[in-house]
């Protein structure tokens, strides 16, 4: 698998992967209405373009010249990299893609001088177990109002990059 810096030309592919992954991931957690609202909120072309051209580092994950997923992260403070997005096409499950992506983000975060990586994950998402296996710890609960009467009910998880002294 290769990681390639995303450009605005990748926006349709990012949107297509989001469409493919969100329902299998969240259909047991979110209503279809909330899924549609969140996809439009987070994956409209203008938002993605602003992120790609701004402070969010978007990378396409490719296998045999095909985009199979993406990761997006940014430095949110001097010492913290925030992992915003990590999604793979459903046929990539259980193939090690997520593990490789987390290792990629860890290496990028270290190069940026970060001491930790943080992420938000829905409390009922099976990815919680994956992040725990990858060495993340649950730091706190967070309920975030995203408008239209919808909330994100998440855990904030953290991975410490610096060894404990």
Per residue in 91-137, pLDDT (tens digit) is 998 889 999 999 999 999 999 999 999 999 999 999 999 999 999 99
- Inside any domain, residue 158: no
pLDDT at 18: 96
DSSP letters for 37-58: HHHHHHHSHHHHHHHHHTT-EE
Q: What is the mean pLDDT of the chain?
A: 94
pLDDT at 163: 61
Supply the range of the domain harboring residue 57.
2-118
- Inside any domain, residue 55: yes
> Number of folded domains in the chain?
1
Helix (H, G, I), strand (E, B) or coil at 2: strand
Q: Are strands 150-160 and 137-147 parallel, antiparallel or unpaired?
A: antiparallel
Q: What is the CATH number of the domain that holds 68?
A: 3.40.630.30
- Inside any domain, residue 48: yes
pTM as predicted:
0.92
- Inside any domain, residue 74: yes
């Amino acid at each position: 698998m290769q990681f390639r810096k995303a450009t605005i030309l990748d926006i349709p592919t990012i949107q297509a992967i989001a469409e493919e992954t969100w329902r299998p991931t969240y259909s047991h957690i979110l209503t279809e209405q909330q899924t549609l609202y969140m996809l439009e909120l987070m994956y409209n072309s203008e938002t993605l373009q602003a992120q790609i051209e701004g402070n969010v580092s978007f990378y396409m994950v490719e296998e045999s010249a095909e985009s199979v997923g993406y990761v997006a992260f940014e430095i949110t403070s001097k010492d913290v990299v925030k992992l915003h997005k990590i999604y793979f096409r459903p046929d990539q499950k259980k193939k090690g893609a997520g593990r490789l992506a987390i290792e990629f983000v860890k290496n990028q975060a270290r190069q940026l001088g970060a001491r930790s990586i943080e992420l938000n994950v829905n409390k009922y998402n099976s990815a919680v177990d994956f992040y725990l296996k990858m060495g993340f710890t649950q730091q706190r609960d967070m309920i975030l109002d995203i408008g239209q009467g919808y909330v994100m009910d998440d855990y904030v998880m953290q991975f410490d990059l610096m060894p404990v002294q």
